[in-house]
Amino acid sequence: MARFIFITGGVVSSLGKGLASAALGALLQARGFSVRLRKLDPYLNVDPGTMSPFEHGEVFVTDDGAETDLDLGHYERFTGVHARATDSVSSGRIYSTVLEKERRGDYLGKTIQVIPHVTNEIKDFIAIGEDEVDFMLCEIGGTVGDIEGLPFFEAIRQFSHDKPRGQCLFMHLTLLPYLSASGELKTKPTQHSVKELQSIGIAPDILVCRSEHPIPEKEREKIALFCNVRKEHVVPAYDLKSIYEAPLAYHRQGLDQAVLDAFGISPAPRPNLARWEDVMDRLTNADGEVRVAIVGKYTQLEDAYKSIAEALTHGGMANRVRVKAEWIDAEIFEREDPAPHLEPYHAILVPGGFGERGTEGKIKAAQFAREHEIPYLGICLGMQMAVIEAARNVAGLTTAGSEEFDHEAGKKRFEPVVYHLKEWVQGNHKVERRASDDKGGTMRLGAYDAALTAGSRVAQIYGATAIEERHRHRYEVDIKYRDALEQEGLCFSGMSPDGKLPEIVEWSDHPWFIGVQFHPELKSKPFEPHPLFADFIRAAVETSRLV
Residue of 74, 346, 519, 530 marked catalytic: 519
**Residue 166 falls in which region: left (phi positive, over 0), alpha (psi -120 to 50) or beta:** left
Instruction: Classify 286 as helix, strand or coil.
Output: coil
Q: How far apart are CA 537 and CA 533, in angstroms?
A: 6
123 burial via Cβ count (<10 Å: 0-12, 13-18, 19+): middle
Identify which of 16, 136, 21 has the alpha carbon closest to the alpha carbon of residue 78.
21
Task: Report the 3 state secondary structure along 242-273.
Answer: CHHHHHHHHHHCCHHHHHHHHCCCCCCCCCCC
- H/E stretch holding 74 reads helix 71-79
Identify which of 221, 200, 199 has the alpha carbon closest to the alpha carbon of residue 209.
221
Q: How far apart are CA 423 and CA 64, in angstroms?
A: 18
Is position 528 annotated as part of the catalytic site?
A: no
- H/E stretch holding 90 reads strand 88-90
Residue of 168, 209, 380, 491 marked catalytic: 380
Is position 209 annotated as part of the catalytic site?
A: no
Is position 380 annotated as part of the catalytic site?
A: yes
Find the DSSP H helices in 354-419: 359-371, 381-393
482 burial via Cβ count (<10 Å: 0-12, 13-18, 19+): middle
Instruction: Enumerate long-range contacts of 482-491, CB under 8 Å, 24 or more apart.
Output: 484/391, 484/395, 484/397, 485/387, 485/390, 485/391, 485/394, 485/395, 487/395, 488/390, 488/394, 488/395, 489/394, 490/387, 490/390, 490/394, 491/453, 491/456
* CA distances, 277 to each of 20, 27, 143, 248 (Å): 18, 12, 32, 8
Beta strands in 297-414 (DSSP E): 322-329, 347-350, 376-379, 400-402
Identify which of 34, 37, 30, 306 has the alpha carbon closest to the alpha carbon of residue 171.
37
Q: How far apart are CA 519 and CA 530, in angstroms?
A: 11
Instruction: Classify 495 as helix, strand or coil.
Output: strand
User: What's the distance, CA 457 to chain centroid?
Assistant: 27
Residue of 76, 469, 521, 530 marked catalytic: 521
Q: How far apart are CA 140 and CA 505, in angstroms?
A: 41
**Active-site residue set:** 380, 519, 521
